[in-house]
């Protein structure tokens, strides 16, 4: 074989690899846009290894008698029960409306005599919506004078105390601020839409005014509570951490298109004092959690982002949900092909661990640790042994190769949760906490200034505090 022929063959091989990688990328992006978002094995049709190769077709007998089948449309429906409607409205105020006949109609059609009421019957229950309305409160205060002192030439006067306003020299009351916060941070309604709602109620307030109210209330009142929550959070031994990008305008020395980040620090599920702390930072570098956790000692649950390596004095527990997600992303478009066997087997192995973990959820930490070492540790040892062998020969830069490297390069972090029964196998708690912020971001798109982003972070912190208090 000549050198030119060998060169052509190498070039063809390289092009085939590129085509395979590009096809994999197209399938991945298509699945992200139009495919299922669930990572459960049942959703992915991965019930067992045989299902990858069309078990039904492989095991079918063409000569076997085919039973009569009845196709039933698949649906989910909540079963109704007696008193369901009453249960829905039991905490709402009730008002009885009695419908009666007009005096002119209380005459018998047969004989013309006046009819007498003999009873009443229940007809239906309905819920009435009463639209919100605004009311203006004009505050006055009385002034008192001591007449005796005035006669003695030492006049003395005293005025009645008045509650301090949330925002000086404004129309804002505690109820209007509470409604603003509820609309923006709980329901995700941006200020420009709230502006229209206030106008419909009869009060023309600009979004700039609404924004200023929130900023001032956070600066003068709420920030002190938020700082105290941070102090209490750092006293806890177990934390969950995650971050997501946010666009912030008017950041010094940065373009408006630059990505800033909202960080969330959470106490564990069973914490005595559950806290979800949000913090705005202009970047994603490891220096930000390093500063936040300075002097902290304990366990932190994170993804495999290298920035967390900057935090010293902690044990890092990596998230198995992220690990499983890496193999889910490596699945080809057709999961019944041989190319799907390795990522599918990885998912099945990890799902075994998740299944055991769900069984241990109700146990005390010491018992949970003991059971994990007995039941989960052997499965994990087998998983990493299999991953080391299976990673050999995989196409570099492919999704599957990246998934194997993700697992093998971060093995130590994935093992750490076995050390303490209070640690979690997943960082889903932090991801779930940050989800309302992500949903809100889709509506309001960006923060108008760094101060606005800081205020949003603090108010989200308090918002979660109220949710845990209700629970």
Pairing of strands 446-447, 314-318: unpaired
The confidence score (pLDDT) of residue 49 equals 42
Question: What is the DSSP-derived secondary structure letter of residue 361?
Answer: T
290 closest CA partner among 306, 277, 309: 309
Determine the pLDDT at residue 39.
Answer: 57
Give the DSSP H/E element, type plus range, for residue 16.
helix 3-34
> Distance between CA 279 and CA 298 in Å, rounded?
20
CB of 96 closer than 8 Å to CB of 103: no
User: How far does CA 90 lie from the centroid of its chain?
Assistant: 30
Residue 168 to residue 216: CA distance in whole angstroms: 9
pLDDT score, position 295:
94
Q: How far apart are CA 448 and CA 251, in angstroms?
A: 9
Pair 308, 300: CB distance under 8 Å: yes
Question: Which residues, listed in sequence order, are joined to residue 238 by a DSSP beta bridge?
Answer: 299
Asked whether 281 and 263 are in contact (CB, 8 A), the reply is: yes
Coil, strand or helix at 238: strand
What are the pLDDT tens digits along the chain (471 aa)? Answer: 677 877 777 777 777 777 777 776 777 777 667 666 565 544 455 544 434 333 333 344 445 444 444 444 555 566 667 788 888 889 999 999 999 999 888 898 898 899 998 999 999 999 999 888 999 999 999 999 999 999 999 999 999 999 999 999 999 999 999 999 999 998 999 999 999 999 999 999 999 999 999 999 999 999 999 999 999 999 999 999 999 999 999 999 998 889 999 999 999 988 988 999 999 999 999 999 999 999 999 999 999 999 999 999 999 999 999 999 999 988 887 777 877 889 999 999 999 999 999 999 999 999 999 999 999 999 999 999 999 999 998 888 888 999 999 999 999 999 999 999 999 999 999 989 988 888 888 888 888 899 999 999 999 999 888 776 555
Rg of the chain over Cα atoms, rounded to whole angstroms, equals 32
Sign (positive or negative) of CA dihedral 226, 249, 172, 195 = negative
Q: Can you tell me the distance from the alpha carbon of 425 to that of 22, in angstroms, rounded to the nearest whole number?
A: 33
pLDDT of res. 64:
46
Structure tokens, 407: 């697992």
Residue that the structure tokens 């130590």 belong to: 412
String of DSSP letters for 244-296: EEEEESS-TTS-TTSEEEEEEEEE-TT-SS--EEEEEES---THHHHHHTTT-
Residue 357 CB neighbour total at 10 angstroms: 19
Give me the torsion for CA of 38, 43, 47, 51, rounded to 10°: -120
How many Å apart are CA 95 and CA 418, to the nearest integer? 58
Q: Exposed/middle/buried for 414, CB within 10 Å: 0-12, 13-18, 19+? A: buried
Q: How far is CA 131 from CA 200, 201, 311, 325, in A?
A: 11, 9, 51, 45
Helix (H) / strand (E) element for 402: namely helix 399-409
Tell me, what's the pLDDT at 316?
A: 96
Nearest alpha-carbon partner for 180 in 412, 468, 463, 471 = 463
Burial 159-189 (b: 16+ CB within 10 A, else e): eeeeeeebbeeeebbeebbeebbebbbeebb
Cβ-Cβ contacts under 8 Å for 431 (sequence gap 6 or more): 242, 321
DSSP 457-470: HHHHHHHHHHHHHH
pTM of the shown model: 0.80
* 3-state class (DSSP) for residue 114: strand
Report whether 212 contacts 412 (CB < 8 A): no
CA–CA separation, 311 vs 371, rounded Å?
30
Contact status, residue 233 vs residue 300, Cβ threshold 8 Å: no
Coil, helix or strand for 205?
coil
Please write down the HEC assignment for all residues of 161-201. Answer: CCCCCCCCCCCCCHHHHHHHHHHHHHCCCCHHHHHHHHHHC
């Amino acid at each position: 074989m000549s050198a030119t022929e060998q060169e052509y063959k190498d070039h063809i091989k390289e092009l085939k690899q590129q085509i395979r990688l590009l096809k994999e990328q197209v399938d991945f992006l298509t699945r992200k846009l139009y495919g299922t978002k669930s990572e459960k094995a049942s959703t992915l049709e991965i019930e067992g290894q045989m299902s990858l190769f069309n078990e039904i077709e492989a095991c079918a007998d063409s000569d076997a008698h085919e039973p009569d089948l009845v196709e039933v449309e698949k649906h989910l429906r909540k079963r109704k029960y007696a008193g369901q409607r009453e249960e829905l409205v039991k905490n709402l105020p009730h008002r009885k409306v009695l419908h009666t006949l007009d005096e002119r109609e209380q005459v018998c059609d047969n004989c013309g005599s006046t009819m007498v009421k003999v009873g009443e019957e229940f007809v239906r229950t309905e819920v009435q919506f009463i639209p919100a309305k605004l009311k203006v409160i004009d505050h006055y205060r009385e002034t008192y004078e001591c007449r005796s002192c005035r006669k003695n030439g030492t006049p003395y006067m005293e005025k009645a105390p008045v509650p301090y306003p949330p925002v000086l020299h404004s129309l804002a009351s505690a109820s209007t601020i509470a409604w603003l916060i509820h609309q923006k941070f709980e329901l995700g309604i941006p200020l420009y839409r709230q502006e229209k709602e206030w106008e419909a109620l009869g009060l023309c307030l600009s979004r700039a005014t609404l924004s200023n109210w929130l900023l001032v209330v956070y600066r003068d009142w709420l920030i002190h509570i938020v700082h105290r929550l941070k102090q209490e959070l750092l006293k806890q031994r177990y934390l969950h951490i995650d971050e997501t990008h946010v666009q912030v305008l008017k950041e010094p020395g940065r373009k408006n298109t630059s990505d800033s980040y909202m960080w969330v620090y959470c106490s564990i599920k069973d914490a005595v004092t559950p806290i979800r702390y949000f913090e705005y930072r202009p970047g994603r570098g490891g220096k930000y959690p390093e500063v936040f956790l300075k002097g902290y000692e304990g366990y932190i649950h994170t993804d495999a982002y290298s920035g967390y390596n900057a935090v010293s004095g902690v044990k890092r527990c990596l998230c198995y949900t992220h690990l499983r997600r890496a193999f889910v992303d490596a699945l080809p478009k057709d999961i019944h092909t041989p190319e799907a066997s390795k990522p599918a087997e990885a998912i099945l192995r990890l799902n075994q661990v998740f299944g055991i973990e769900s069984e241990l959820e109700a146990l005390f930490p010491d018992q949970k640790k003991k059971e994990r070492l007995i039941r989960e540790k052997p499965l994990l040892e087998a998983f990493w042994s299999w991953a080391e062998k299976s990673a050999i020969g995989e196409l570099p830069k492919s999704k599957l190769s990246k998934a194997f490297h993700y697992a093998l390069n971060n093995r130590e972090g994935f093992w750490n949760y076995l050390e303490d029964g209070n640690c979690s196998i997943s960082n889903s708690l932090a991801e779930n906490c940050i989800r309302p912020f992500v949903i809100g971001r889709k509506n309001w798109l960006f923060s108008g200034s760094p101060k606005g982003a800081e205020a949003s972070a603090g108010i989200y912190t308090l918002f979660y505090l109220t949710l845990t208090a209700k629970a």
